[in-house]
């Protein structure tokens, strides 16, 4: 199993540009989440999904959009990039039930810089 994969690893954008961060998992996990990590602030939840076709907002959703058309994929879209969105983005997935259902598996992250 590849686990949780994220692309790209690094990205530089100009203010106002849009882009999509890709996330995929091959563990058949129902729950998927996007977090951003900023120095001294830990991880903050952006959006999450409890299954294909179902998404909801987290703590810091403004400026981001998500969709979940398949169990495997959960892309994060930046609609109009702003310098405040410079951060490291992590995708995570986990099971919805059964043993170890509350253990999250994280991808390697995408480092985004907005100029």
Dist. CA 61–CA 48, nearest whole Å = 10
Q: Which of 19, 27, 45, 52 binds another protein (CB under 8 A)?
A: 45
**90, 93, 112, 114: residue in contact with another protein (rule CB under 8 A):** 90
Judged by CB under 8 A, the stretch of 19-27, 36-44, 63-71, 74-82 that binds another protein is: 36-44
x-marked contacts with another protein along 69-88 as a string, rule CB under 8 A: --------------------
61 touches another protein (CB under 8 A):
no
Q: Which of 7, 18, 70, 102 binds another protein (CB under 8 A)?
A: 102
């Amino acid at each position: 199993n590849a686990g949780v994969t994220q692309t790209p690893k690094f990205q530089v954008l100009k203010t106002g540009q849009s882009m999509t961060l890709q996330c995929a998992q091959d563990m058949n996990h129902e729950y998927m989440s996007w977090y951003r990590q900023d120095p001294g602030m830990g991880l903050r939840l952006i959006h999450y999904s409890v299954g294909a076709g179902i998404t909801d907002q987290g703590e810091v959703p403004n400026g981001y959009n998500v969709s979940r058309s398949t169990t495997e994929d959960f892309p994060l879209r930046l609609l109009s990039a702003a310098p405040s969105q410079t951060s490291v983005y992590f995708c995570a997935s986990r099971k919805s039930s059964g043993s170890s259902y509350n253990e999250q598996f994280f991808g390697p992250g995408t480092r985004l810089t907005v100029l």
